[in-house]
Amino acid sequence: MNITFYLNEMLIMLVKLRKLKRLKLLYLLTYL
């Protein structure tokens, strides 16, 4: 398995997770 590919995939996942968390926070803030 290619290590650079693996690291890149992990990075993409982290970015997606962070975006999701931000969206959840915005969602919570708007509905409080």
Write 20-28 long-range contacts (CB < 8 A, 24+): none
Q: Rounded to whole angstroms, how far apart are CA atoms 16 and 22?
A: 10
- pLDDT, position 8: 95
Residue 32 predicted with pLDDT over 80: no
Q: Rounded to whole angstroms, how far apart are CA atoms 17 and 12?
A: 9
- pLDDT, position 31: 82
Q: What is the DSSP string of 1-32?
A: --HHHHHHHHHHHHHHHHHHHHHHHHHHHHT-
Question: Residues 8-31: pLDDT tens digits?
Answer: 999 999 999 999 999 999 999 888
